């Protein structure tokens, strides 16, 4: 079973923020794969099902971004055997808006949500998919940038990119992270 977690912040206030592109991606997968979020647990909203013969759990932590590790650690013990069975999808300021990049593992690279996951599961060895949200404009803090709502033009770009992320996850499930990286990076 593969656990696919989109990182973000819970609540309507953050629903359209740049920081919630991870949620947008797993919500898109849920629609495309007909895997609705039917389970509401204390730490996450979950959808269980299969895609292309692979059993999957889609999850949106109900913790705030910087505390995502608690939810991911809980989910990992319940639904996946090793960190390599986990895929984390999240926003990345160091990538241009809408750019998608896959990694097989590694450091948090300054992303506090990913740092929380790494600390909680005591491993950096899990695949991740980063979606670019672009750098903060001059005079805007990084925190303000990630928490601001996406503009209409940005939502269109992100909308196209969530489809790419869904395709990348399918490729990862079918052919592995190396092939997915070669095809989508």
d(CA 31, CA 51): 12
Rounded alpha-carbon distances, angstroms, from residue 11 to 3, 15, 17, 23, 84 = 22, 6, 11, 11, 29
**CATH number, position 45:** 3.40.50.1470
Rounded alpha-carbon distances, angstroms, from residue 78 to 139, 153, 156, 174 = 43, 39, 35, 23
Please confirm, yes or no, whether 54 is among the known catalytic residues. no
Enter the pTM of the model. Answer: 0.95
Instruction: Report CA Rg, the chain.
Output: 15
The answer to whether the Cα torsion of 22, 26, 31, 37 is positive or negative is: negative
* The total number of structural domains that make up the chain: 1
- State the residue range of the domain holding 40: 2-184
The string of pLDDT tens digits covering residues 45-98 is 999 999 999 999 999 999 999 999 999 999 999 997 899 999 999 999 999 999
The string of pLDDT tens digits covering residues 24-39 is 999 999 999 999 998 8
| Catalytic residue (choose from 19, 28, 111, 145) | 19
């Amino acid at each position: 079973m593969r656990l696919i977690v989109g990182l973000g912040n819970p609540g309507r206030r953050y629903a359209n923020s740049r920081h919630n592109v991870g949620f947008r991606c797993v919500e898109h997968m849920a629609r495309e794969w007909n895997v609705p979020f039917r389970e509401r647990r204390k730490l996450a909203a979950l959808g269980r099902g299969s895609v292309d013969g692979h059993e999957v759990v889609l999850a949106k932590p109900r913790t705030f971004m910087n505390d995502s590790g608690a939810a991911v650690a809980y989910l990992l013990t319940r639904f996946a055997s090793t960190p390599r069975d986990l895929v984390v999808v999240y926003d990345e300021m160091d990538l241009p808006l809408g750019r998608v990049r896959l990694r097989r593992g590694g450091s948090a690279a300054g992303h506090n949500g990913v740092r929380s996951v790494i600390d909680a599961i005591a491993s950096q060895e899990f695949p991740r998919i980063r979606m670019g949200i672009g750098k903060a404009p001059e005079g805007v803090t990084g925190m303000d940038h990630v928490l601001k709502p996406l503009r209409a033009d940005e939502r269109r770009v992100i909308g196209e990119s969530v489809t790419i992320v869904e395709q990348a996850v399918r490729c990862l499930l079918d052919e592995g992270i190396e092939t997915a990286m070669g095809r989508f990076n």
